[in-house]
Structure 1
Amino acid sequence: MTVTRFAPSPNGPLHLGHAFSAIVAHDRAARDGGEFLLRIEDIDGVRSRDELADEFRADLAWLDLEYRDVTPQSQRIERYRSAADDLLAMGLLYPCTCTRAEVASAAVAVGPDGPLYPGTCLRRGPTPGLDVAWRLDMEQAVDLAGPLEWTDERRGAQRATPAMFGDVVLWRKDAPASYHLAATLDDAADGVTCVTRGIDLFRATHVHRLLQHLLGLPVPVWHHHAVLVEADGRKLAKRRDAPALADRRRAGEDGRSVAAELRAALFDTGISLSDIINQQT
C-alpha cells in the first residue's frame, strides 16, 4: 500500500504552495488506494504555534483532502535522541560550537544549504556542553556506507552523493533535531513508502538516504514535484506573506475549486501564483 504524508510546520499559515504539495501527496496515495497522512512538524522552538495545527486541518478539509493524523514531532523527541546516540556511538557525530557567522567567514566552498562547514571543531575537539550542535562526520559516514542509490519517480535512479552537504548538523542548539534527522526518522516510523515534496528539496534526499543506511531504516521512493512561484520566479514563502488558505477559506471561496485548479497546473516548469489567482477570477 502506498503511504504518503504532508508535514507542515506550524510557524505560519498555509498558502497555495502548501495546498499544491498536499494535493500531490494525497493524490499519489489515492491513485494506489493508499493512505495520506498529516504530520505536524512542531519542534521549531518558539516559532511553533499550537493553534495553527487546527487551522491546517481545516484547510485540508476545505480542499476536500482525506487524511489521517499521526504523532506530531514534539512527541518524538526521545526517538530523535536515541538515533543521535546511535550515531555518536558509531563515532559519526562530533560537537560544534561555531556560530553561523564563524562558519560563513571560514568556509571555502558553498553547498546546497549554504557555506560548507570547514571542519573547525572536528579538528580542535571542543568539550561537549549545553550550547553545542552535533555534526555528522560526513567523510567517515560516506566511507562506512559505501555506494548508495535512491529512486525518484519522476527522475529515475539516483546515486547518493551526500558529501556535497559537508558535515551537516543533525542535533541543533535551538531545537531537538535537524530537518534531515527528524524527517528521515519520522517517515520510517510512519511507514511512508513514497516521500512527496518540492523539487527544492531534491538534493536533501542524498543526506536522507545516507541516514537511512546508517540507522537501518527502510528506503522509500521519492516523488519531487514542481513548486508554485511568485510572478518574479521566487518560491512562495510564509515569510513573504503569501496569501493564506485560511483567509480564502473564511472569505467563502470554494476549496474544491481551488484544488481542481491546482491539479490542472501539475507540470514540471514553475507555476506562477498569478496564473493560479487569475484562473480563479
Structure 2
Amino acid sequence: MSALPDNPANALHGWRLRVYTIIFEADTRAGRWFDQVLIACILLSVAVVMADSVPALGAHYHRAFQVAEWIFTVLFTLEYLARLATVQRPLRYATSFFGIVDLLALLPTYLALLLPGAHALIDVRVLRLLRIFRVFKLSAYVVEYRSLAHALRASRRKIVVFISGVLMIVLVMGTVMYVVEGPENGFTSIPTAVYWAITTMTTVGFGDITPRTELGRFFSSAMMLLGWGTLAVPTGIVTAEMAAQRFSSPTTLPTPTTRTCHECLTEGHLPEALHCHHCGAHLPPWQHEPGGQGHP
C-alpha cells in the first residue's frame, strides 16, 4: 500500500506526542510504568468484582467493593478519554479491537445504574491484559503468536474441509441414532440426536442423553473411537504448516518494538523502520530508553 500523505497540521506534537508515547508505547521508562500500573489496576478491578460475587465477602464488604469499582471505572474512563484525545484519528481507535475492549470495560459499571447485575460483566477487562505481551518485553512470544496465526491462516481451507466432513458424519450418525433409539430413549428429534453425536465425537460426553439399545451402544462406541482419531487431524494440519514455515523462514527474526503508527495505530515496527508496514504512513522517530527493548 502506498504511503499516506503527511499532514503537518494533524501531526502529533507537544503534550499530545508525549502523552501518546506514554500511553500507546512501552519502550520508554514512563511508558512501561504506565502499562504496569494499568495492568495492576485491571487485575485489582477484576478481583474486586470476583470477590463481590462471593456471598460471604459481599455481605460484609459490599459497600467497599462498590467504592473500589467506581474508583477503577473513573480511572479507566479518564484513560480512555486520554487515548481519544492524543490519537490522530479518534474514530479509528474507538472502532479498533483494543478501543472496543477499552469501551466495554467501562460500560458495565454505568449500565449497572439501569440494569442491576450488569457490573458482573466488568470481567471483560481481563481482555485488556493482552497488552502484557509488549509491556514485559515478551516480544519472542509475540513472534510465536504471529507464527501460529500464520499457520492457522495458511491451513484454513484444510480445516474448513475437515470440519465439513465432521459435520456430515455427525449429521448421518445423529439421524441413525434417532432411528435406532427413538424418542423413548431421549433422542426426541434429529437435532437432539446430532447434539448427542457432536458431544460423543468430541469426547465431551455430557451424559444427559445415552443409548439404551445394543445397536445404539455399538454405534456410540464407534463414534467414541472415531472421535479419538479426529482429534489428531486438525493438530497435524496446523503442526505441518508451522513446521513448513519454520524451515522456510530465517532462524533468527528481528525483535519488534512497541513503536506504533500514528495513522493506523499498528505496532511492532522495527527500530530502523521509516514507514508503517500496514498502511505505509511515515513513522515518527522511535522514542525509547537507551539499552531498552529493540535497542541494538
Which of the five TM-score ranges fits, normalised by the shorter chain? under 0.3
Which structure shows the higher helix fraction?
A: 2
Which structure shows the higher strand fraction?
A: 1
The structure having more radius of gyration, on CA atoms, is 2
Superposition TM-score, scaled by structure 1 size: 0.25
